[in-house]
Amino acid sequence: MPLSDLKCRNAKPAEKDYKLTDAGRLYLLVRPNGSKLWRMNYQFAGKQKTLSIGAYPSVSLADARQSRENAKEHLAHGRDPALASADHPERRFKIVATNWWDARRKRWNAVYAERIWSRLENRVFPRLGELDVTKVAARDILALIKEIEVEGKHDLARRVRQYVSGVFRFAIASEITATDPSATVIDAMESRPKTVHRAAIREEELPEFFRRLRNYNGESQTALALELLIHTAVRSKELRLATWSEFDFEKKIWRIPEERMKMKKEHFVPLSKRAIEILYELKEIAGDSDLIVPSPDKVAQPISNNTMLYYLYRLGYHSKATVHGFRSTFSTIANESGLWREDAIETQLAHSEEDESRDSYNAALYLAERTRMMKWYSEKLVTLSKKVPNRDDLLEGLL
C-alpha cells in the first residue's frame, strides 16, 4: 500500500531501523534516533544498490517519488542513478546545512543558534549554498575562508570553517557524502595575528602565588579584591567600580551594567561559593560604603587603578604577573581542560567578536554553562591554594 504524508509524519522511532514501503522499491527508513531517510533499492550492472534520496520532511513524499521516477529514467538509459546528482536537489549544501542547523539548534542557546544561522545566510550560502554537497571541494571552502580573512576577521573565519565542517559531518552521518573537505583547509588558513599578552601566572605557579597572598601581612581588602578578581575573571576596572547593588546573593549573580563594561554591553558574572565568601568579607571592611572596595582614605571613591598591581609587586611578582594576566590564566586553564565551549569562555571574559552582526548579544548568554564552569574553576583554585608549592617556586620566593 502506497505511503501517505500523514503516515510518514507520524512514524515514530523504534529500537531498531525499520522501513515504510512505498511503490517502486522506494521506502522511508526510520532510525532509532528519529531521523527519516528516503531510500530506493535498484539493480545496476548486475549489482544490488541503494539510492540515498534525502531526509524527510526536507524531501517530501512527492519529491521522493519524483526522484524515484528520475532514477527509473536513468536506469532505462543505462545510467546509474546514484551518479546523477543533478536529480538530487536535496543534496544542495543549503538544504543539508539547514537540516544540520535544525538538528543542532535544540542543544544550543536560542541567541547562539540565531547567530550561526545569520552567519550561514550572510557568509556561507552566497558561495556554497547552491553547490551539490557531494561535489564541494576544499578549494570552494578555502575561497570562502579567504574572503573573510581578507577583512581581518580571523576568528570568524575559523568559526565559519567549523560550521561548514559540522554540516559535512552531518552529511556523512546521513549517508549523503563520504568526506569532509573542510578538514584539509585548516593548514591553508592564516594564523591569528599575534596578540601581546600581559604577564600571567601559570597553573603550576598558582600554589606558590596563593601561599604568598595568604602569608603576606598587607592590606586585607586589597588581598581579598585580588582573590575575587581571580575567581571571577573580570577586568580590574569592573571590580574596582562595583557597587553592592549589582550583586544578587540569592541568585548568585553579579550584574555589571553596560555603562561600566568595555564593550558597552550588560554582563552577568556567576558567583561561586568562594566568590560569595570573599564578598561577605569585603562587606565587613566596606561598612556603609556603596562600593565593594572603597578607598581606605576616601570611602566614596574606589581603590586606585594601581592598588592591586602594586600589591602583586610587593608579593614578588614585578614583571612576572599583572592583574589583567589572571584573565589569561583563566582562559588558558578553561580552554586546555576541554570541558567548556570556547564561546562560553569568551563570553565569561566579555570579549567582543569580530562579526559585526552580533547585535543579539545577551548578558545571560551561556549562563548555565558559565555557572558550572566558574564553579569548577573556583573549586580548582581553592584546591590549588591548599597545595604545597614545588621546591623551585619556594626557593624563588626566598630570593
Map out the domains of the chain with their CATH numbers.
5-91 (3.30.160.390), 109-188 (1.10.150.130), 203-398 (1.10.443.10)
Q: Residues 127, 265, 320, 351: which is the catalytic one?
A: 351
Q: Is it the case that residue 286 has pLDDT exceeding 90?
A: yes
Q: Is it the case that residue 360 has pLDDT exceeding 80?
A: no
Active site residue 361: yes
Comparing 41-55, 138-152, 356-370, the range with the smallest average pLDDT is 356-370
The residues near 1 (Cβ < 8 Å, ≥ 6 apart) are none
Residue range 386-390: average pLDDT?
A: 73
Active site residue 311: no
Which of 255, 233, 235, 263 shows the shortest CA–CA distance to 359? 263
Q: Residues 235, 267, 274, 370: which is the catalytic one?
A: 235
**What mean pLDDT value characterizes the chain?**
87
End-to-end CA distance of the chain: 88
Residue range 192-211: average pLDDT?
A: 80
Residue range 47-64: average pLDDT?
A: 85
Q: Is it the case that residue 142 has pLDDT exceeding 70?
A: yes
- What SS3 state is found at 23? coil
Cα distances (Å, whole numbers) of residue 266 to 256, 337, 353, 366: 6, 28, 15, 14
Express as a percent the part of the chain with pLDDT over 90: 54
The residues near 297 (Cβ < 8 Å, ≥ 6 apart) are none
Active site residue 313: no
Looking at the chain, which runs of residues are DSSP E strands? 18-21, 26-30, 36-44, 47-56, 247-248, 253-256, 267-270
The pLDDT of residue 354? 47
Higher pLDDT, 365 or 45: 45
Residue range 204-230: average pLDDT?
A: 94
Residue 194's pLDDT band, with cuts at 50, 70 and 90, is low
Q: Is it the case that residue 195 has pLDDT exceeding 80?
A: no
The pLDDT of residue 335? 87
The pLDDT of residue 8? 95
Q: Is it the case that residue 241 has pLDDT exceeding 90?
A: yes
Q: Is 232 left (phi over 0), alpha (psi -120 to 50) or beta?
A: alpha
Grid cell, residue 384, equals: 590549588
Higher pLDDT, 88 or 66: 66
Q: Residues 18, 216, 310, 361: which is the catalytic one?
A: 361
